[in-house]
Chain A
Amino acid sequence: MFLILKYIAKLLKALSSEASPNQLAGGFVLGMIIGLTPVASMHNLLILILVIILKVNFGMVILSFLIFSGVAYLADPLFHNFGIWILELESMQATWTSMYDNELWAITKFYNTVVIGSFVSAVLLCIPMFPLTKISVVQYRKHIHEKLMKTKFAKALKGTKLYSIYQTVARVRG
């Protein structure tokens, strides 16, 4: 509970002014890829490494992962059909076969309809989602943040004991 609260508070803080819109948008799309594709896939290990070594916002990664995991649960049948279409593309057969015969590619399980369908969908979604998130962050800071901070929820959140503990810890850690 404390960890979730910590990241929500951190995310709100980052959204307000601390992090750059690029870091937030980066976290959002990386979390989206992990959320939309089957978690235990080899490419998600690479995404996780990127999350750790790139300066993207963790809170945003987690928020995006939680949102898109739910979306993926409903969208898996669509990903499956999209995957069938991709894997059966006549022009791609030679490429798929040579990738399949290469163990390094094969361990990504690209030949699974849900893996390839969801991964390609997630990568395609990154193109609009990255700039959209950036714009949304800027717009949020301009128009929404102040209003949100005045809402009962934000006030209640600030008033909780856990939030004050978090503030104290954050101050001590610097």
Chain B
Amino acid sequence: MRIKGIIFLVALTLLGFLISWISIDPIIESEIEYQASVANGALVEIEGLDIDLIDLKIRWDKLQVANPENTMTNTFETGEMELDFLFWPTWWERVIIEDIIFKDFKMDTERETDGYFEIPQDEKNAEPSFVAQVISDVTSEVSRNASMEFTNIKTNINVDSLMAKLDLQAPNKIDSLRKGLNQNYQKWDSTLANTDINKEIDSVEKTINSIDVKNIKDPKKAIAAIKNIQKLVKQVDSLKTRAGNLKKDFQDDFENSKFSVGRIDNWIQGDFQRAMNLAKLPTIDAGNIAQSLFGKNILADYSGYLEYIAIARKYGSRLAGDDKEKIERYEGKDYNFTDKYDWPKLWIQNIDLSGETKTAIQLAGQITNISSSQKKTKEPIKFNIGGKDDSNRKMNLTGEFNYLGEEPRETINFIYDGFGLKGSKISPSELLPYPLKTGTGEVSASVNIIDKRIDSEIGYKAKGIAFDFGEKPSKNRVQQLIRDAVSSTDQINVTALVDNLDGPLKIKVRSNIDELFVNALKSTVSREVYAARKKIETRVNQEIGDRKEQLLAFKNEKEAEIRKEYEKLENRVNEEIEKVEEKKKELEKKKKELEDSLKDKLRDKIGF
């Protein structure tokens, strides 16, 4: 035994422990902060990280997660946190945390420093996700209705100045479509005129004509000619197939043109709608009124819930995908005798949370099974957080993010009940500008997403309400009617439905006071709105002119020409097929005659 060797080993081990004890914490802290900031899109800061490798614990004093939308605030922050992780999975580069306890969890807190974080170019997601697209659609729906004016309808609309501002899009789009169609028709003209099929038909014709059946005197020559004609049969069959393919191609092309032309009405309608928005002219129906009254608030809340789902999907896709099996030459193959080590890269089994909201509701709850691969943990992410305060305001958030199956499924249910409405306005719309004297509110939301199918409902209830119309209420007739209508209402129920179950995304907002408003508006401003709409509609149609009709006529004419050209080609092919068949029959007949005559001659020679 080497004594010096043993001393060396002991010294080396001690040195290793010392180095890791001194330097491991700041390195891990900065790496966690960087990765979490990339995932969050804004700074994530940890203070006082302490990793205890002997007791297998990690703790920190404070965690701040900056809000990417407003980097001077935190989405949430926590006070002291402690977590236990398992030792053995670390050998397989896996982190499995059994339990995390977050104390002093607070949402929407102010920051002392800016939490902006520049995401490196290579870490950015190039394509907007499905959920992000839904958020964008919902947001644009909100802004579409934000500019509507119901009480101050302008009857003397200056259509010229409106059109100058509008910049109609439909005429350009129709012109550009016509140009595209024309190029396409030219392509087909040229294809049909220069097709090899015509040349091949000429060549087949020449070959047929060169076969002079009458002058064939030898059966061998007849057989050779038949073989030749059989080749021609194959050739004309192939010509027929090629002509058929050409027909299929241009018919597919024409179908696409039909689809493009079908969009013209949408373009015109789009221009008209934009003109209406510019003139701030509303459509007076229940859906539009409800959306104008409550859409902005309720859909903004809705976008907020979707953000959480977008974050869950984003984190899920960032964490997943790094468990791919590595197959490299000469690295051998691992035999997994059991599934014991089939852990995900990260698995936080349980988070116990306690803290308070910005409105001082004491929150407590659990989040379970956050993992980089639910297929390995066989458990979806579930959360249940809730609480209430002394004045009986309650909040509860439950949900499940399930990525176990082929399609990702997310469910969120949220209720916030009992918040006071005194002094607040329940709608940002000019239709309902009055604050409330009394009332409590309840918001509930249920969002279900399965892959790219979304089905969600947001409810808003204002209970026990009474409006404060002020001492000198407006004498505007519309306002008067609205006041009369809502003064007897003590509850307002609003429901927003967002789904794409039957096709494109639909956003519907309804409330129990829509009809009151519709009636009030119909009896007052409806006629003015109709007259102004008609004015704009006539002018938009004038500007667009007969472009659509011209385009349709052009399309029909050109397509008929191309079909005619094709029919000529098809007829030539069919005629050629008939000629070849006829020639074949003639040759077979001739062959039989020659063979019979040869047999007769033979019989005569033998003397039968």
Contacts and interface: CB of A to CB of B under 8 A. Distances in A.
A100 B337 contact: yes
Interface string B319-355: 0000000000011111111101100000000000000
Contact of B333 (A49, A101, A113): A113
Contacts of B503: none
A9 interface: no
Contacts of A96: 335, 337
B85 to A, nearest CB: 15
A100 B332 contact: no
B6 A114 contact: no
A35 to B, nearest CB: 15
A87 B335 contact: yes
A19 to B, nearest CB: 13
B554 interface: no
Given A49-B9, A53-B9, A103-B91, A112 B2 contact: no
B334 A111 contact: yes
B22 interface: no
Contacts of B1: 53-55
Given A53-B1, A103-B91, A111 B337 contact: yes
Contacts of B91: 103, 106-107
A93 B338 CA distance: 11
Nearest to A88: B335
Nearest to A55: B2
A76 B337 contact: no
B308 interface: no
Interface residues of B, number: 19
Interface string B243-258: 0000000000000000
Contacts of B332: 76, 79-80, 83, 112-115, 117
A151 interface: no
A161 B91 CA distance: 48
Contacts of A117: 332
Interface string A64-83: 00000000000011011001
B7 to A, nearest CB: 10
A133 B556 CA distance: 95
B530 interface: no
- A53, A54, A84, A109: most-surrounded residue (chain B CB, <10 A): A53
A100 B340 contact: yes
Given A53-B5, A111-B335, A113-B333, 19 more contacts: A52-B9, A53-B1, A53-B2, A54-B1, A54-B5, A87-B335, A100-B335, A100-B337, A100-B338, A100-B340, A101-B337, A101-B340, A111-B337, A112-B334, A112-B335, A113-B332, A113-B334, A115-B332, A117-B332
A97 interface: yes
Interface string B1-23: 11001101100000000000000
A52 B5 contact: yes
B148 to A, nearest CB: 67
20 contacts: A49-B9, A52-B2, A52-B8, A53-B1, A53-B2, A53-B9, A54-B2, A77-B330, A79-B332, A80-B330, A96-B337, A97-B337, A101-B340, A103-B88, A106-B91, A111-B337, A112-B331, A112-B333, A113-B334, A117-B332
Given A52-B5, A52-B9, A114 B331 contact: yes
- Pairs A-B, 7 closest by C-beta atoms: A114-B332, A52-B5, A100-B337, A113-B332, A76-B330, A97-B337, A103-B88
A100 B340 CA distance: 8
Contact of A97 (B9, B333, B338): B338
Contacts of B338: 97, 100-101
A117 B331 CA distance: 12
A168 B6 CA distance: 28
- B334, B335, B340: most-surrounded residue (chain A CB, <10 A): B335
A113 B335 CA distance: 8
A87 B91 CA distance: 22
Interface in B1-53: 1-2, 5-6, 8-9
Interface in A113-134: 113-115, 117
B216 to A, nearest CB: 70
Contacts of A115: 332
A115 B330 CA distance: 10
Contacts of A114: 330-332
A151 B5 CA distance: 36
Contacts of A80: 330, 332-333
B335 A53 contact: no
B336 A111 contact: yes
Contacts of B2: 52-55
A54 B335 CA distance: 34
A109 B331 CA distance: 12
A117 B6 CA distance: 31
A115 B335 CA distance: 11
Contacts of A101: 337-338, 340
A58 to B, nearest CB: 10
A97 B341 CA distance: 12
Interface string A37-74: 00000000000010011110000000000000000000
Nearest to A95: B337
A160 B5 CA distance: 31
